[in-house]
Amino acid sequence: MQEFTAELRARLAEAREDLRRARENGDEHGVQVASGRLDNLNRLAADHGISVETAGETE
């Protein structure tokens, strides 16, 4: 389970970075894609009782 948790957190960090970059570049489609991915990953984490850090995250 630790490997799953670590991979999920890594994917969340990547999705947050993708979202940040898309916003910076004014890429509305990229924002929508990254936001959807981030929502799905957060839902997956919640379904498995995995706490994820969201401090400083702006969606």
- For the stretch 53-58, contacts whose Cβ atoms lie closer than 8 Å and that sit 24 or more positions apart, written own/partner, are 53/9, 57/16
Confidence (pTM): 0.82
Q: How far apart are CA 52 and CA 41, in angstroms?
A: 10
- The dihedral through the CA atoms of 51, 53, 58, 59 has a sign that is negative
Distances (CA, A) of 21 to 8, 15, 38: 20, 10, 14
Residue 52: predicted pLDDT: 82
| pLDDT tens string 12-46 | 999 999 999 999 999 999 999 999 999 999 999 99
